Amino acid sequence: MKLKREDKVIVLRGKDKGKTGTILAVLPKENKVLVENINVVKRATKPSQKNPRGGILDITKPIDASKVMVLDPASGKPARIGYEVKADGTKERIFKVSSNHEKRAKSAEKVEKTKAVKADKKDKTPETGKPDAKAGKK
């Protein structure tokens, strides 16, 4: 399970859909997480030594881990989590939204460079390499 305590998450399904909160506990054997102020239920309790008055209490119940998604701290968007092993052997947790964004930016730069190179080739004649006098006139 890639979720950890104190991660900010957003609920994707259920009665609390769209709400955000922090993870209070992770239950990996059950594949559930306990999120602050999410999946709050009312429970009627009898008087006891711990709670002498009894009554109706609000209890936070665990929610299935598949129904929540981690929020990227940098962008605030929901993100999938991955891991990268650095050269020194340490394992770093990465958010896929941020890394994908960087890859897209790099590929966009490559496209712009290739368009510029193609435009330069159109303006020059193949035999001389100098700008074509006819290319500018129409």
Cα–Cα dist 9/14, whole Å: 14
* 117: in domain: no
Asked whether residue 110 is assigned to any structural domain, the reply reads no
Full domain range(s) for residue 67 = 8-71
Return the CA Rg of the chain. 28
Residues in contact with 5: Cβ distance below 8 Å, sequence separation at least 6, in sequence order: 23, 24, 25, 26
Is 22 a member of any domain?
yes
Q: Is residue 39 part of a domain?
A: yes
pLDDT score recorded for residue 17: 94
Look at residue 98 and tell me if it is in a domain.
Answer: no
Ranges of residues in the chain with a pLDDT under 50 are 100-104
Does the residue 124 lie in any domain? no
What's the pLDDT at 93?
85
Looking at residue 5, its pLDDT comes to 92
Gap between the terminal Cα atoms of the chain: 64
Q: Count the domains in the chain.
A: 1
What CATH number does residue 37 fall under? 2.30.30.30
